[in-house]
Structure 1
């Protein structure tokens, strides 16, 4: 029998064992691509793993599907076997095309298990599986119990990833990324001796004190000072149904310094984490506009979770100490009522981008989202190492979102400055394209076509430089629509959605093209997803949904959506126009005429012909249909007609 056994009163054997858990990254993708080839490779790799496990005096406990569970009497043998497995499989994968490589993730834990015949159960197995879920493809993660046993017995590279909570286990587990590469970051076993637990406890106490003092501005938002516990959110009390996917809101990182530049860093870090997570199809990510609605407010975990309809919350702060920045971060399971992990990082400003990538990676690990190295590189990419350019770009976006003439002029200056700091970065080009398009759209320039052409060239260059980023495609879609090319507009917007499926603006942008191009039913679905991604959405999204519902023949829904917008801003003309058309279509003529009077009260110069030209509908029949509905309510078709018509 393996391990030291103790016979329990219930007849089960308990023992201490080293558990190795492994699974294939991207197995479903490989099977969809070529089932037979995938099965052949899996069988070959299983045989390799089985032989190595036996060589290192272990045994295969179970191997369902693409998972393998092995048990060892020696934790040293388990680690050595893990290294040998990854080295051997790396050599085998080198012989294959990149898209046909089969990479395993491995987790190793030393813990108590229950044996029933040849099977093993218990927390030891669960922790090993948790370690495996945090490993990178081709990599190994080990628990603290493994590290403590092997650190002075074999040499290996090691990076401490912090403590993690595991379901049904009250004490957080230390997690280490380990490899044969002794030059790796962080701790390196074999070069330091263990001198008992007192130094470790002292270090932990110091870190805790630093967190309490330096991070009190963060943790006090979520943790009750009296109990230190989190008030769990109620799924039944949520404003929106909880998504089936892991759902998360990244709250604004707080600037605990007086340095205004640090405030820009905190805001930019929050925005970029949200942007990166929004590109992951397996997640549901709340838009930054809704996250920043809580900036500077005293809120609880439960309140934010229930208002936004999400399970997980990420929160953090930035504090300057001389030439270094201290970042404190925590990830909370609001529904479970527990803190998943919390950590502190001391970095220079130049290390900000590395920290950002580390935070995104850790969030994905905790939410058990599995990405290949290439997939992660795509979602985390920002394509600049210039902090100055990054900050200037963020300032430009902030100014541009005022949508005023002065704001756009300021945005142009900031985008140009960012471009000078990093001439090869695509995002400032997207920003400039946006400015040119908006100024042309608003009629603020003498030569409309010249501004559109400038925006076009900038967006095309942005796509050429950064084809994996959605911004350039978004702008090309806007510009194509402004020229009446609905097919191109759809193609660009679909590409943007493919790259960033959880991005609020990307979903809104696609929905806004779909109903103009003749697919209003899908437009409603996409726009409602945008609304869900951004619970604190702007009013203009609501009336965009109303217009799509009108085009789809969903008249009662269009009436409800229009009224929702009017409640928020009674003087906004747009929802009154949609409401008028919807009432006409629903044969509620009296109400339609009342709304027509409201339109002319708000805008005495309104006429149907001029307004329909702004709608950019692809099909003349759609334009004619909406025009007739508005005229039927009494609105003038042309500027020359008397507005008294509305009252007849």
Structure 2
């Protein structure tokens, strides 16, 4: 009798289930099922497709998948587990859905759409050995993938698996040293997402660095006007300045699909801009171009670069949206140079650099009295001066800050950055909370990708007595600029929001994060002192007050209002003062 032919092939087998699924279902049946479906739909299934896997079958909380490549099977498992860590970040311990994964490779039987064989059983047994959130693989998988992925293998020894005739060498997958120190990957937004890295200055003149940086800032601004794009803020992109970068890693760390890099060469009265757009998920080059022109046409060149990039990222965008990016800023290059130099000084965040920034910004305004960006930036310098306790003449500073802010919003009715800067100045210094909030809301309508506007909106919500809304807006600001060198400002604002929400543990935690980035952030020190004291941690509170007094010996309860926003609600001011008094701040 002729033996029936059996259809066999070599494949990598991936088995997964949810750790503690029965317990989770017992706690919240409908919620657990909904979350599991969301994880499958948004993360697991797309990753399987991305790495050419085929879902053979699902069984409640489990699934069986085959891959033609063992490297792809392991890569898929690693990325799924990393994605789950991120998705579980805000989920309370004990209610998280965590997958266990087992992978082996070998000969299997194909029958219809199903698979059978010893290797299938081994994968299932390996999955049962995995920790929640972990991956276990067989010895052959380890041999085939060793050195080909950024992972390490921990030898768990030979195991006698249930109903498997021979012992199986088991390895647990761990992040490699490089991967363990890398920043965690961020989930890609639903809409097209982009980061513009600092352009290389090819002029051979270190003094022109500010010019190359300014070029990138203008391109980021042009791109960020599109509501259909998610654009990473300038300060996060600039953390890569001067570094050799891996574009795929940049994409993972910033949570973007596309990365633009390039160079600027300025000589005499000519400038050349080169740029290339890369798909960070694959490393593929999508677009490259070169733009040459006279220096007086610099803004036209910037608009052309921005328009071309947008066309490459989202070719189906309506032409009207593309044309919206073609808005020239100022026509006076000398004023523009002063503005760029002023912003470079501002980003140093010291009293001296703040004074230098104001000098340069005033010079920019003198050269071009219609330069809206300079007015907004100068007004914001006064806000920072007050926040840090650097005010030389509070009455005169208040008058001047309001004048600059009023000019910024008059000239910049359609300029989100100017409206945001003017709005925060009106609210913080003039005490016009409603007017300031309206300008900031207008800025967010014009440019929902502007991290600074979300930060300012967060502050306004704090002062309006809406700390929970403020927390949401500040989280949005940090997502738009996750590597921002001034992340401490966002963290400090988040600390204040939690303080006035009565979340003293969260407030002190956020304040400590801000202070790790900027130990001299007086707003962060004040919140740390007040929140620690209100939570009963007097020793930590007293340490914070001692540091405040070192930086600002004249600071006391009686002159708090000089450092705090003019619009702080009486009950919030009283809570703040109570905390600082308990912390030991003199009256």
TM-score range, shorter chain: 0.5 to 0.7
Residues 1:478 and 2:428 are matched in the alignment: no
Q: Supply the distance in 2 between the matched residues of 1:237 and 1:439 (Cα, whole angstroms).
A: 33
Give the TM-score normalised by the residue count of structure 1.
Answer: 0.56
Distance 1:449 1:257, change over 3 A: same
Q: Supply the distance in 2 between the matched residues of 1:624 and 1:441 (Cα, whole angstroms).
A: 19
Given the alignment, which residue of 258, 264, 277 partners 2:210? 264
Q: Supply the distance in 1 between the matched residues of 2:388 and 2:583 (Cα, whole angstroms).
A: 28
* 2:379 counterpart residue number: 433
Distance 1:455 1:626, change over 3 A: closer
Q: Mark the runs of 5 or more structure 2 residues left unpaired by the alignment.
A: 1-178
Distance 1:366 1:615, change over 3 A: same
Q: Supply the distance in 2 between the matched residues of 1:369 and 1:295 (Cα, whole angstroms).
A: 29
Once the two structures are TM-superposed, the CA of residue 578 in structure 1 deviates from its matched residue by: 2.8
* 1:450 counterpart residue number: 396
* 2:564 counterpart residue number: 615
Distance 1:250 1:474, change over 3 A: same
Residues 1:489 and 2:439 are matched in the alignment: no
CA contact (8 A) 1:577 1:596 kept: no
Matched residues, number: 400
Q: Supply the distance in 2 between the matched residues of 1:449 and 1:612 (Cα, whole angstroms).
A: 13
Given the alignment, which residue of 497, 501, 506 partners 1:548? 497
The alignment partner of 2:463 has SS state of coil
CA contact (8 A) 2:504 2:532 kept: yes
The alignment partner of 1:527 has SS state of helix
* 2:133 counterpart residue number: none
Q: Supply the distance in 1 between the matched residues of 2:183 and 2:408 (Cα, whole angstroms).
A: 44
Once the two structures are TM-superposed, the CA of residue 419 in structure 1 deviates from its matched residue by: 3.1
Q: Summarize deviations over 1:494-522 as a string: whole Å, max 9, x none.
A: 12222221112111111112111111111
Once the two structures are TM-superposed, the CA of residue 609 in structure 1 deviates from its matched residue by: 5.0
Matches within 5 A, 1:20-419: 238-260=184-206, 262-320=208-266, 324-368=270-314, 375-419=321-365
Distance 1:375 1:456, change over 3 A: farther
CA contact (8 A) 2:402 2:425 kept: yes
Q: Summarize deviations over 1:524-563 as a string: whole Å, max 9, x none.
A: 1111111122222322321221111222234443343233
Residues 1:594 and 2:539 are matched in the alignment: yes
CA contact (8 A) 2:533 2:541 kept: no
Q: Supply the distance in 1 between the matched residues of 2:364 and 2:445 (Cα, whole angstroms).
A: 27
Distance 1:456 1:237, change over 3 A: closer
Q: Supply the distance in 2 between the matched residues of 1:504 and 1:333 (Cα, whole angstroms).
A: 23
Q: Summarize deviations over 1:324-347 as a string: whole Å, max 9, x none.
A: 333221001111331111122232
Distance 1:306 1:271, change over 3 A: same
Q: Supply the distance in 2 between the matched residues of 1:293 and 1:384 (Cα, whole angstroms).
A: 27
Q: Supply the distance in 2 between the matched residues of 1:470 and 1:396 (Cα, whole angstroms).
A: 19
* 1:507 counterpart residue number: 454
Distance 1:334 1:437, change over 3 A: closer
Most deviating of 327-336 and 614-623: 614-623
Give the TM-score normalised by the residue count of structure 2.
Answer: 0.61
* 2:114 counterpart residue number: none
Q: Summarize deviations over 1:450-496 as a string: whole Å, max 9, x none.
A: 33333323332333333111233223323322122222221122122
Distance 1:248 1:547, change over 3 A: same
Distance 1:483 1:257, change over 3 A: closer
Q: Supply the distance in 1 between the matched residues of 2:513 and 2:219 (Cα, whole angstroms).
A: 32
Once the two structures are TM-superposed, the CA of residue 272 in structure 1 deviates from its matched residue by: 0.5
CA contact (8 A) 2:307 2:325 kept: no
Most deviating of 570-579 and 478-487: 570-579
Most deviating of 406-415 and 293-302: 406-415
Distance 1:406 1:485, change over 3 A: same
Q: Supply the distance in 2 between the matched residues of 1:559 and 1:439 (Cα, whole angstroms).
A: 24
Distance 1:571 1:471, change over 3 A: closer
Q: Supply the distance in 1 between the matched residues of 2:312 and 2:335 (Cα, whole angstroms).
A: 31
Q: Summarize deviations over 1:72-123 as a string: whole Å, max 9, x none.
A: xxxxxxxxxxxxxxxxxxxxxxxxxxxxxxxxxxxxxxxxxxxxxxxxxxxx
Once the two structures are TM-superposed, the CA of residue 431 in structure 1 deviates from its matched residue by: 3.4
Q: Mark the runs of 5 or more structure 1 residues left unpaired by the alignment.
A: 1-232, 640-648
The alignment partner of 1:398 has SS state of helix
Q: Supply the distance in 2 between the matched residues of 1:283 and 1:399 (Cα, whole angstroms).
A: 30
CA contact (8 A) 2:380 2:425 kept: no
Once the two structures are TM-superposed, the CA of residue 361 in structure 1 deviates from its matched residue by: 1.2
Distance 1:268 1:624, change over 3 A: same
CA contact (8 A) 1:238 1:309 kept: no
Q: Supply the distance in 2 between the matched residues of 1:433 and 1:622 (Cα, whole angstroms).
A: 26
Q: Supply the distance in 1 between the matched residues of 2:569 and 2:401 (Cα, whole angstroms).
A: 26
* 2:13 counterpart residue number: none
Given the alignment, which residue of 490, 500, 507 partners 1:558? 507
Q: Supply the distance in 2 between the matched residues of 1:393 and 1:410 (Cα, whole angstroms).
A: 11
Residues 1:516 and 2:466 are matched in the alignment: no
Given the alignment, which residue of 604, 624, 627 partners 2:574? 624
CA contact (8 A) 1:434 1:475 kept: yes
CA contact (8 A) 1:576 1:595 kept: no
Superposed CA RMSD in Å reads: 3.1
CA contact (8 A) 2:339 2:361 kept: yes
Distance 1:374 1:449, change over 3 A: farther
The alignment partner of 1:344 has SS state of strand
Q: Summarize deviations over 1:212-242 as a string: whole Å, max 9, x none.
A: xxxxxxxxxxxxxxxxxxxxx9xx9843322
* 1:42 counterpart residue number: none
Distance 1:460 1:369, change over 3 A: farther
Q: Supply the distance in 2 between the matched residues of 1:575 and 1:458 (Cα, whole angstroms).
A: 27
Distance 1:254 1:496, change over 3 A: same
Most deviating of 287-296 and 622-631: 622-631
